[in-house]
Amino acid sequence: MGKMPQYGGWAGKVLRVDLSTGRITTEDTVEKYKDYIGGTGLGYKVLWDEVAPETRAFDPENKIVFATGPLAGTSAPCNGRTAITTLWPTCWPKHLVGSGHMGGHFAAELKYAGFDGVIVEGRADHPVWLAIADGKVEIRDARRLWGQGIRRTTLEISRQMGPEAVVAAIGQAGENMVPMSVIINSVSHSGAGGAVMGSKNLKAIGVRGTGSIRIAGNREEWEKAVRYHLSLIGANNQIVVPSSPQPWAEHYNPGSRWVASRGRTWGAANPPIETGSCEPQNLNRIAYRTNNAAFFLGEQAWRYTVRGNGCTGCPIRCHTMIKVPTVASKYGIPEIGQSTCVRMIFGKWFFKSFPDGPLGETSIEAAMVGMHLADDLGLWDNYGQLQRDFQKCYSEGIFQSKVGEKEFRRYSWDKFEKGDPAFLFELLPRIAGKDGELASALGLGTGFMLEGWGISEEAWKSDRTLQYWKLGHPKHHSNEDAGQCGVIINTQYNRDAQCHSHTNFTRNGLPLEIQKRLAADLWGSDAAVDAAGDFTPMNVYKAKMAKWALLRKELHDSISLCNWMGPWSSSPLKERGYKGDDTLESLLYSLVTGDRKSPRELDEVAERIFVLHRALTIRGMGTREMRAKHDTIPDWVYGDDKDRIPFTKGTIQMDKDDIRKAMQMFYEEAGWDKETGVPTGATYRRLGLSDVEEKLAKKRLTA
Amino acid sequence: MKALIEADGIVEQVLNVVAPGQPVSRRRVLKLCGATIAGMASWHFFGMGGGISAPLIITEQAGGLVVADPTRCVGCRRCELACTEFNDGKSSPGTARIKVRRNLNFGPAGLYTGQCTDGNWGSGLIVQDFCKQCPHPVPCADACPNAAIEVKPPVNARVVNPDRCTGCKVCLKACPWEMMSFDPETNKATKCFLCEGKPKCVEACPAEALTYVSWVDLTGKVPSRTTPVSNRSVACIDCHK
Ligand code: SF4
Ligand code: SF4
Ligand code: SF4
């Protein structure tokens, strides 16, 4: 036995695989990456140090980094995500840094196999897959797998590696370097970046591990901390009130994803299982609270529900599994499907209407077909932008004018008009196969599609129904959820902002008075939050909340906590006044690693990671005019269908001057230059990023 | 344990064979449980068992049992993690004494059974495998050449005594349900010890899929996963894991 490692949590090694040369090496995680923890932090660090700014996503010089953090694979609730960091192929007009966040069982298995992350570089000269089993790594021939869907690929690899293997694979979309593609593991857990894997001729990564992760802290304390965390957990997206009145609940909110109730039943379980009232104190019923099939597909999905499913160690089970027998005979696809959120409605969202209404049987069938095809071909939806683009291009005659009559007529538009899910079998495989102009354009992502067709981005930016934001991507929990705070957050990334810290608070379902009381504790004043759709002008507390939200996102993506659930800033516990705990991350991180870090110290690491992302973006764009050129806001944010004016009840419309002020306040909070939006020298130095500052200064990219 | 000794004269005979002439203290009996089984086996081998009629129940029944409901299982593996983190201070599904991982993707029948599998890639059913706390004969204990698997109060779980376990892995091949685990970090076998009556896995399950119940004999009711190897092939098991 080797000597006891200094820290718990980390597996200890990061794997590096050069597909061009076949060279496989490892490096010490703690030694090399501890200041960035893991996950996105590790990914950004590799991209900063090793990938030149002029690199394009599909160049062999681009790298794709799969990284987890110290909590992955432990029983800290919600630890299932792997951060996939690379140059983002749908980021328009230039590929900038981006990261995807893949759930499932990959992160845990990778760590049990001995690795915190995998850095893939170069390009293989023929299709390969990577086998990682208990520290042993091999590059294997994937020629026979090339052209196969993700399901078959997973099965074939599992036959070789054993049934416990977790396989992260790309489908035909990724192979064909369709930018709108994903990597999938454990049936339905996706992370974008499939085309980058495809560009490297890498079909899949199979992992299998029988090793363990040491918990450095005292065993009883760890057990207590985990139970404590569980006691503060709500339903999916950390919603802490039920959707209907419950005997135990003081409050309820129809918009809640906490949908369990007496009489609501997993109808396709055999025998059916009643979800019941799910008192928050009962930690043995957390898995029944959420049913995202019922939430996203409507009440009738209850009878199709088999059970909840989800990532390693997560009690929430946001990927609901449904069984719809009719789809097997009608469409020849498996009768069981599972997913969450926008991927659950991937297929449904293409259609304007269905013969039996928006929540009828056909809509569920469309969802089933969509889930099956998207998760087998490995297609990305860009948070629903793909479907919105499709509908817009169709309804405004853009397809017809851009692709020519002959190609246009290849599609059964009557099926589309009728809301017939069979239409998806024409559209989706063609997107994955770059088959024809229409499908190829959709597969590029919005920015490159518009450019290719000579349509101005402004046309997209002004259409409120499109929800398009910038750089080829849509909004993700913006002003509709958190006013100015949401807007600020949506300016920061090079894809849709994958941040939920803010929305998991403002949409927690609690009445505004309680939210305000909690907000005062968290950000210094109750003025930090408004009711959604009843916004007040900007103030500094909103800027503090925005910064906090962004840092927590990066922290979660680095220590491996799910930012779709955290932070746990409120709880379902009346006896706590619904207070959550903002220090949970530090408690869990310190206990698992043995590296004691106060919440403040950990926030500083998060800030280092976030600022490194900023530096990568600055370097990638080659400009310091971030405020003007990067942190842009689409026009639709400043409009309202009913011409209501900003700061009146009922509108989510923002005011231009107020948002200008909001950005300024945020830059100030962040320690960034107010005019340009680049971090100041003092900020880089405070965060231990002097070398980053120096490199940027040489290129005149500092304040 | 005391009640057992007093109730059954046969036990005394057996104990005499194992430790002739020695006074049997309470402590000694505890230590002997595994050895008793081994002793009996040789006793029969030498044709000495002829005078004694079956059944020969010399191992105390367990006081409790963790049972699992596959239809409720949501495949989160919190049970496996609780088992190893809260008992051993490490996250280690590979050595967990409740086993979900191996059935998670394709179910107990695995991948070579054709189209219809269970698990996440199939019907969705997740079967949790748990230790039956077997009544006599206890296959794992029976097979152990070092008498390392003992009956241990307070709940009389069948427990690996790490001081006696030499890491030979014979028990791994003996359990019909493949419920023995081997920890390469300690080089010892380990198995479900019912957390001394407060099962961590049951506490950890977020779907009420596990229950701690009074012991019942499930050995004839749960299909086995494997046919235990004979003593002769025991030597092969190091390679054929
Ligand atoms: S490990 Fe197997 S043989 Fe031993 S008591 Fe448990 S079920 Fe029985
Ligand atoms: S009862 Fe205890 S030892 Fe047995 S499987 Fe459950 S947690 Fe593990
Ligand atoms: S904790 Fe419960 S639901 Fe989760 S895997 Fe174990 S038995 Fe299944």
Contact present, B30 and B151 (Cβ < 8 Å): yes
Q: Looking at residue A647, what is its pLDDT? A: 96
Provide, rounded to the nearest whole percent, the portion of chain A with pLDDT above 70: 99
Q: What is the mean pLDDT of chain B?
A: 81
pLDDT greater than 60 at residue A563 = yes
Which whole number is the average pLDDT over A284-309?
A: 97
pLDDT at site B113: 77
Q: Is A82 helix (H, G, I), strand (E, B) or coil?
A: strand
Query: What confidence tens digit (pLDDT) does each residue in A462-480 have?
Result: 999 999 999 999 999 999 9
Q: A62 lies in a domain? A: yes
Buried-state track A476-496, b at ≥16 Cβ within 10 A, e below 16? bbbbbbbbbbbbbbbbbbbbb
Q: How confident is the model at residue A6 (pLDDT cuts 50, 70, 90)?
A: confident
- Is A169's pLDDT higher than 50? yes
pLDDT tens across B92-130, in order?
Answer: 999 999 999 999 999 999 888 777 799 999 999 999 999
pLDDT for the residue B136 = 87
Q: Is A288 on the interface with B (CB under 8 A)?
A: yes
The CB-side HSE value for A615 (13 A sphere, CA atoms) comes to 30
ipTM of the complex, rounded to two decimals: 0.96
Average pLDDT, chain A: 97
- Closest-approaching ligand to the CA atom of B178: 1
Lowest mean pLDDT among A203-217, A300-314, A676-690, B225-239: B225-239
Q: Are residues A357 and A498 in the same domain?
A: no
The CATH number assigned to the domain holding A513 equals 1.10.599
Q: A82-87 and A202-208: which strand pairing?
A: unpaired
Given A441, A463, A486, the domain boundary residue is A441
More confident residue, A628 or B58: A628
| Atom 4 of ligand 2: nearest residue by CA position | B192
Q: Would the CB atoms of A287 and B77 count as touching at under 8 Å? A: no
Atom 5 in ligand 1: which residue has the minimum CA distance? B133
Distance CA B103, CA A112 (A): 17
> What is residue B230's predicted lDDT score, i.e. its pLDDT?
67
* Cross-chain CB nearest to A287 (options B123, B185, B206): B206
Closest CA to A421 of A375, A469, A373, A477: A373
- The answer to whether residue A466 is domain-embedded is no
Segment A245-252 mean pLDDT: 98
Identify whether residues A432 and A493 lie together within a single domain: no
Q: Do A313 and B73 touch (CB under 8 A)?
A: no
Is the domain of A194 the same as that of A231?
Answer: no
Beta-carbon neighbour count of residue A118 at 10 Å? 24
Q: What is the pLDDT of residue B112?
A: 85
Which tens digit of pLDDT belongs to each residue from A48-63?
A: 999 999 999 999 999 9
Domains in chain B and their CATH numbers? 64-211 (3.30.70.20)
**What is the arithmetic mean of pLDDT over A621-626?**
98
| Candidates B76, B185, B208; nearest CB to A212 | B185
Measured between alpha carbons, how far is A368 from A385 in angstroms, rounded to an integer?
19
Residues 259-278 of A with CB under 8 A from B: 269-271, 273
**pLDDT surpassing 80 at residue A623:** yes
Last residue of a domain, one of A386, A420, A441: A441
Q: How confident is the model at residue B240 (pLDDT cuts 50, 70, 90)?
A: low
d(CA A489, CA A111): 31
CB A308 to CB B207 under 8 A? yes
C-alpha B228 to ligand 1 mean position (Å): 11
Pocket-testing residue among B84, B97, B193, ligand 2, by greatest number of atoms within 8 A of Cβ: B97
In whole angstroms, what is the distance from residue A464 CA to residue A635 CA?
8
**Residue A462 located in a structural domain:** no
Does residue A326 belong to any structural domain of this protein? yes
Chain A, 491 to 520: residues with Cβ < 8 Å from chain B are: none
Are both A198 and A61 inside the same structural domain?
A: yes
The reply to whether residue B205 touches residue A307, judged by beta carbons under 8 angstroms, is no
CATH number at residue A141: 3.60.9.10
* C-beta of residue A117 within 8 angstroms of C-beta of residue A203: no
State which amino acid sits at residue A10.
W
Predicted confidence (pLDDT) per residue in A15-47, tens digit: 999 999 999 999 999 999 999 999 999 999 999
User: Do A514 and A619 sit in the same domain of this protein?
Assistant: yes
Q: Which residues 6+ apart lie within 8 Å of A571 measured at CB?
A: A231, A232, A233, A234, A240, A280, A578, A579, A580, A581
Asked if residue B233 has pLDDT above 90, the reply is: no
Task: Place B19 in a pLDDT band, splitting at 50, 70 and 90.
Answer: very low
- Which pLDDT value is given to residue B59? 81
A220-224, A537-541, B55-59, B143-147, range with the lowest pLDDT? B55-59
Please determine, for residue B25, whether its predicted confidence score (pLDDT) is greater than 90. Answer: no
CATH number at residue A373: 1.10.569
Do the Cβ atoms of A75 and B91 come within 8 Å? yes
Instruction: State the CB neighbour count (10 A cutoff) for residue B7.
Output: 9
Q: Which of A386, A419, A441 is the last residue of a domain?
A: A441
pLDDT band at A508 (very low <50, low <70, confident <90, very high): very high
Is position A584 within any domain? Answer: no
Do B105 and A286 lie within an 8 Å CB cutoff? Answer: no
Burial letters A132-150, b for 16+ CB under 10 A, else e? bbeeebebeebeebbebbb
Let me know whether A526 and A618 are in one domain.
Answer: yes
How close A79 comes to chain B (CA, Å)?
11
Cα(B129) to centroid(ligand 3), Å: 11
Contacts of B92 in chain A (CB under 8 A): 112, 211-213
Is residue A487 in a domain?
yes
A90 with A142, same domain: the answer is yes
Residue A453 inside a domain? The answer is no
* pLDDT tens-place string over residues A418-428: 999 999 999 99
Three-state secondary structure call for residue A278: coil
Q: CA A244, CA A246: separation in Å to the nearest integer?
A: 6
| pLDDT score of B238 | 61
In chain A, how many domains are there?
A: 3
Q: Measured between CA atoms, how close is A76 to chain B, in angstroms?
A: 9
Contact B94 A210 (CB under 8 A): yes
Residues A176 and A253 both lie in one domain:
no
Question: Taking the model in full, what pTM does it have?
Answer: 0.94
Measured from the Cα of B130, ligand 2's closest atom is 5
Provide the pLDDT for residue B51. Answer: 45
How many A-B residue pairs are in contact by the CB < 8 A criterion? 136
Q: A308 pairs with which residues across the strands?
A: A320
Range of the domain at A197: 13-208
Using CB atoms within 10 Å of the CB of residue A251, give its burial: 0 to 12 exposed, 13 to 18 middle, 19+ buried. middle
Closest-CA distance, B168 to chain A, in angstroms, reads: 17
Q: Are A388 and A465 in contact (CB under 8 A)?
A: yes
Whether A562 and chain B come into contact, CB under 8 Å, resolves to no
Task: Mark whether A162 and A248 lie in a shared domain.
Answer: no
Cβ contacts of A232 within 8 Å, gap of 6 or more: A568, A571, A572, A573, A580, A581, A584
Residue B179 CA, ligand 1 centroid: distance in Å: 6
Return the residue matching tokens 């199979």.
A206
What would the mean pLDDT of A69-80 be, rounded to a whole number?
98
pLDDT of residue B36: 42
In terms of domains, do A349 and A266 share one?
A: yes
How close B92 gets to chain A, by Cα (Å)? 4
- Closest-lying ligand 2 atom to the alpha carbon of residue B97: 5
Whether residues A517 and A619 share a domain: the answer is yes
Nearest to A516 by CA among A98, A508, B86: A508
Ligand nearest to the backbone CA of B217: 1
A603 and A640 in a single domain? The answer is yes
Q: Is residue A360 part of a domain?
A: yes
Mean per-residue pLDDT for A420-443? Answer: 98
pLDDT at A248 > cutoff 70: yes
* Residue of B33, B128, B177 to test ligand 1 pocket, by largest number of atoms within 8 Å of CB: B177
Residue B87 C-alpha, separation from nearest chain A C-alpha, in angstroms: 8
Q: What is the pLDDT of residue B229?
A: 74
How far apart are the CA of B147 and the nearest CA of chain A, in angstroms? 26
The packing angle between helices A437-444 and A385-395, to 10°, is: 140
* Nearest-atom index, ligand 1, CA of B139: 3
Decide if B76 and A273 are in contact by the 8 Å CB cutoff.
no
Residue A116 has pLDDT above 60, yes or no: yes
Residue of A nearest to B77 (CA): A313
Q: Which residues have CB under 6 Å of ligand 3?
A: B 68, 73-79, 100, 126, 128, 204-205, 207, 209-210
Phi, psi (5° rounding) for residue A667? -55, -40
